[in-house]
Amino acid sequence: MASGEEYRRQIGEYKSHRALLKLWQQIVARDTPEWEPGKAFEFLILRAFEIEKADICWPFPVNLADQLVEQIDGVVYAAGLSCLVEAKDCSDKTAMEPIAKLRSQLLRRPVGVIGALFSSSGFTDPSVTLSRFLGPPTILLWGPEDVMYCLKKKSMVDGLRRKYRYAVEQGLPDLTLQESE
């Protein structure tokens, strides 16, 4: 099992969106043998933001009284936003549980912190519907089409800004970036 430091070194070898796009294609094909399940996707998301000069925190544990209470997939600071990242790389669409987990994590953070839930396979219809009715804190949903679009356009930070603006103006967490142009 590789350490977080080893994964940071490994993902650091990807110097461009083009290189990350190739890794993305491997993730979609479920062909990432040099990564533990889910790790390639988790680190790809953070590296894409980092390449665009966003400040990021790599995955880290949160301990209380020497006990693990949370495992955070990452944090992104960009476009004036502070964002907890949760990445789900599963063959099935993402259901409501990760949304509820991220919401719980956000409730322990300052009011201005938002969430971004990235799913390599998309979201179930019930999870999208229910997420539209959750009160604050805001959790932005990023499906595979959003990830692909932003990698191709080199626009993860702009995508975050656009998704947040849409959530503010329309009250919806699930803007599909390509369709919103």
- Predicted local confidence at residue 2, as pLDDT: 75
pLDDT-above-70 percentage for the chain: 98
**Coil, strand or helix: which one is 63?**
strand
- Picking from 59, 28, 45, 9, the residue whose alpha carbon sits closest to that of residue 122 is 28
- Predicted local confidence at residue 149, as pLDDT: 97
- Predicted local confidence at residue 180, as pLDDT: 64
User: Where residue 23 sits, what CATH number does that domain have?
Assistant: 3.40.1350.10
Instruction: Measure the CA–CA gap between 132 and 51, rounded to whole angstroms.
Output: 31
Q: Which residues of the chain have pLDDT under 50?
A: none
Q: Beta strand pairing status for 67-72 and 74-78?
A: unpaired
Instruction: Measure the CA–CA gap between 45 and 35, rounded to whole angstroms.
Output: 14
Instruction: Measure the CA–CA gap between 68 and 160, rounded to whole angstroms.
Output: 29
- Predicted local confidence at residue 178, as pLDDT: 86
- Predicted local confidence at residue 51, as pLDDT: 98
Q: Which domain holds residue 56?
A: 4-180
- Picking from 87, 53, 46, 80, the residue whose alpha carbon sits closest to that of residue 161 is 80
Structurally, the chain folds into a number of domains equal to 1
- Predicted local confidence at residue 10, as pLDDT: 95
- Predicted local confidence at residue 134, as pLDDT: 84
- Predicted local confidence at residue 137, as pLDDT: 87
- Predicted local confidence at residue 1, as pLDDT: 62
- Picking from 80, 4, 84, 8, the residue whose alpha carbon sits closest to that of residue 44 is 8
